[in-house]
Amino acid sequence: MFESLVRLSRPDAKLQAEFLAAGYDMDKPRASYPAAVFAGCQEATVRHRYAGLDREAAYRTLGRELVRSYFDTLVGKVVGIALKVAGPERAMKRVSLSFSSVFSPVDIQVEALGPADWRVRFRGYPFPAEAAAGTCEGALRHGGLRDG
């Protein structure tokens, strides 16, 4: 996920310094990081890239753009193909597994409310709810869900 965040944030020297202060060294990336490091880098990205938006809109947009950037990575391309094959309905049934594979432990409950209508509850998820909502929206659009 860091690769996706770095791609979308296009960090200048100031943002790179904020990433480093949060615990992420762009010159020496590691395989994994504590959630607090990712959260700090998300916050820095929101301040730099979405300064004109209110907090909720900024994080929701960040979530959408983060997943779009993820689908540009090698692993994301493979996941994106599987998502398009599965479609939005099956993708929603797998939300818990998808998020748990990246951030653990997290308790995610998905409830179908009707056709193309779901409620997703995140417990123990260390990031803003708006970012999670944007990520789900972006993934579903990538999987074929259309507005309307």
Per DSSP, the three-state class of 123 is strand
pTM of the model: 0.79
Query: Comparing 148 with 23, which gets the higher pLDDT?
Result: 23
Can you spell out the DSSP letters for 80-121?
A: HHHHHHHHHHHHHHTHHHHHHHHS-S-EEEEEEEETTEEEEE
**pLDDT interval class at 128 (50, 70, 90):** confident
pLDDT at 43: 95
Q: Model confidence over 26-74: pLDDT tens digits?
A: 999 988 888 889 889 999 999 999 999 999 999 999 999 998 998 898 8
The fold of the 2-142 domain, in CATH, is H-NOX domain (3.90.1520)
**Cβ density class 41-53: b for 16+ within 10 Å, e for less:** bbbbbbeebbeee
